[in-house]
């Protein structure tokens, strides 16, 4: 089965990433945190094959925001991803939808999409996501702020599912997960929910990570 792990990331340039975090710790430190988080997400992806006896071996795609295709490919190569590409324009929902649909068009039967701001992410979380897609067309990772840190679609998912779930959501609010689950259920899909994880967006989020 072809699998793809897509990591959404912004290049760690001081003043152009993690603005809410930078307001408390400064632009340079925020960029260093962003780089470390991105490397951690990719390392978790690369660890899947080693921890699962070679069974889980997804293609790891780094989807970069605010970079062109050529720069995204160079950045991905430096970080050890299999491939790098640009997220493209538009809001978060549109960019997520674009990546999920692109992966499906390329023949990936299981697609898992995560962000790059997950300090407590473990390879086991990603294994659990791919395992869930063997029995369900949709998996979500609930986030502590009411959003979600992971979305995955499997071979049973209808082609229109990503668009129906990523469009028109109240991004940035505390109802994102609830609205996404409700939208899935209206389509007759019951998502599998993974363990709750916390994003790292604000200075206070650094405390348990130190």
pTM, two decimal places: 0.93
Number of Cβ within a 10 Å radius of residue 132: 22
- DSSP for 132-188, written as a single string: HTTT-SEEEEEBTTSSEEEEEE-TTS-TTHHHHHHTT--TTSTTHHHHHHHHHHHTT
- pLDDT for the residue numbered 183: 96
pLDDT at 29 over 90: no
* Integer Cα distance of 69 and 84 in angstroms: 8
Q: Domain range spanning residue 194?
A: 3-205
Residue 25 pLDDT greater than 60, yes or no: yes
Interior/surface letters 96-108, b for 16+ CB within 10 angstroms, e for the rest = bbbbbbbbbeeeb
Q: In the structure, what pLDDT confidence band is assigned to residue 55 with cuts at 50, 70 and 90?
A: low
- How many domains, the chain? 1
Asked if residue 210 has pLDDT above 60, the reply is: no
Q: Is residue 210 part of a domain?
A: no
Instruction: Identify the pLDDT of residue 207.
Output: 66
State how far the Cα of 132 lies from the Cα of 91, in Å rounded to an integer. 28
pLDDT in tens, 155-208: 999 999 999 999 989 998 899 999 999 999 999 999 999 999 988 777 676 765
Distance, in Å, from the CA atom of 1 to the CA atom of 154, rounded to the nearest integer, reads: 11
Residue 115 in domain: yes
What CATH number does the domain containing 150 carry?
3.90.550.10
Q: What are phi and psi of 10, to 5 degrees?
A: -110, 135
Assigned domain for 130 exists: yes
Q: What is the mean pLDDT of residues 137-158?
A: 96
């Amino acid at each position: 089965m072809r699998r793809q792990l897509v990591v959404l990331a912004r290049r760690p340039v001081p003043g152009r990433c993690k603005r809410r975090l930078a307001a408390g710790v400064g632009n340079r430190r925020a960029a260093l945190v962003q780089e470390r988080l991105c490397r951690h997400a990719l390392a978790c992806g690369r660890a899947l094959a080693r921890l699962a006896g070679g069974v889980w071996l997804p293609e790891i795609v780094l989807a970069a925001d605010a970079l062109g295709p050529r720069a995204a490919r160079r950045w991905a190569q430096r970080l050890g991803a299999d491939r790098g590409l640009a997220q493209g324009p538009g809001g978060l929902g549109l960019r997520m939808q674009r990546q999920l649909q692109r992966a499906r068009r390329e023949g990936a039967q299981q697609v898992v999409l995560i962000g790059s701001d997950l300090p407590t992410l473990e390879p086991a979380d990603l294994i659990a996501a791919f395992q869930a897609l063997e029995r369900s067309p949709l998996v979500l990772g609930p986030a502590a702020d009411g959003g979600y840190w992971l979305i995955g679609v499997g071979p049973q998912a209808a082609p229109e599912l990503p668009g129906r779930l990523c469009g028109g959501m109240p991004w940035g609010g505390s109802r994102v997960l609830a609205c996404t689950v409700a939208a899935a259920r209206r389509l007759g899909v019951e998502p599998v929910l993974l363990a709750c994880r916390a994003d790292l967006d604000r200075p206070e989020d650094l405390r348990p990570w130190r």
